[in-house]
Amino acid sequence: MINVSTKNLGIIGYPIGHTLSPTMQMAAIKAANLDYSYIAIPVQKGRLIMAVDGLRSLDFRGWNVTIPLKSSITQLLDSLNADAKIIGAVNTVVNDGGRLTGYNTDVNGFLAALNEFGFMPEECNATVLGAGGAARAVIWGLCKRKAAHIAVGVRNPEKYKDIIEDFKVFDAIDIYHWESDEFKEQLQQTDLLINTTPLGMTPNVDEMPPVDISLVPEGALIYDVIYSPAKTKFLQKAEELGYPTLNGMTMLLYQGVEAFRLFTGVEPDEQVMLNALKEALQD
C-alpha cells in the first residue's frame, strides 16, 4: 500500500511504453518487503530539465534513465561515478537529500550477460552498431575487458568521432559508416556483433540495422541489447543463418540488480526479478 512514507522510484525516457523495469523492480521490492514504489514516467528530451527538477523536488529516491536521455542528463546531475563519467552516459540516478549522483549500471549488466552466456570478450574483435548511451556503455565494457579491437558502425561517422577521443585510453577503436566497404571488412573479422541501436525495438519491430550479418564469421556471437521483443528481426536473421544469439534480457536484469542495490541498499532476489521479466516477455 502506497502512503506518505513510501519512497518513490521510477524510469524516465521516451517512448517508454515497452519498458519492463517497473515489472522487474516492483517484483524485487515486494520480495524484499520494502516500502517503495516504482513507476514509468514518459519524458521527452526537450522536457528533461523540468523533469529532473520535478523529481528532485518531489524527493524521488532515484530513477533509471533510458533513451534518448542517457547522455543529456549527465549535465543536470551533481556528480557522476567513475564509469558514468568515462562513458558520458547515465542510466541510474540516486537522490541523497537533493544531491543527485549518476551511475551507469549498463556496463556491468552488459559484461555480466556475456559472462553468463559463456563468452569471454578478452582479445576479441568486437563490432558495435550505434554510438548512443547504450553503445558507450558497451564500448567501455569491452575496453575494461581488453578486447583486441572495437569497430563502431553508424550512419554518420563525423557526428560520433568524439568516441575515439573519449575512449583514448583504448587505442584500438575505429568508426565507420555501417554500409561502407571498410565496415564490411570489419564484419568479416568480428567475433562479437552487438546492436545497441533502437532499430527493431517495440513498436517498430520490422526495423533492423542495414548490415549484412552473413559476412560475420561462423560461430561469432550476435547480440542485441533490445529485450522487447525478445527476438528482434536482427536476431531472427542471425538465427536463420545459424549464429548463436543473445538478447537484452540478461543485461536488463543485471543492470537492474545493481540499480536496486544503489536505490535501496538491499540485495535483491535476482531469481524473482528474472521470473518477472520472463513472464512479462511471454505475454
Mean pLDDT of the chain: 95
Mean pLDDT of 224-252: 96
Catalytic amino acids?
70
pLDDT at 161: 84
For residue 188, pLDDT over 70 is answered with: yes
Residues 112, 236 within the same domain: yes
Residue 2 falls inside a structural domain: no
Residue 148 scores a pLDDT above 70: yes
CB-neighbour burial class of residue 31 (10 A; exposed 0-12, middle 13-18, buried 19+): middle
Cα(217)–Cα(214) distance, integer angstroms: 8
Full domain range(s) for residue 30: 7-104+250-282
Same domain, 133 and 100: no
pLDDT grade for 283, boundaries at 50, 70 and 90: low
Whether 138 and 237 map to the same domain: the answer is yes
Give yes or no: residues 30 and 150 share one domain: no
Percent of the chain clearing pLDDT 70 (strictly above) = 99
What CATH number is given to the structural domain containing 138?
3.40.50.720
Assign 29 a pLDDT band (cuts: 50, 70, 90).
very high
Q: What is the dihedral of CA 143, 68, 174, 104, to 10 degrees?
A: -10
Looking at the fold, whether 50 and 180 belong to one and the same domain comes out as no
Number of domains composing the chain: 2
Whole-model pTM: value is: 0.92
Sheet arrangement for strand 92-96: 36-42, 7-13, 62-65, 92-96, 99-103, 79-80
Tens of pLDDT, residues 59-94: 999 999 998 999 999 999 999 999 999 999 999 999
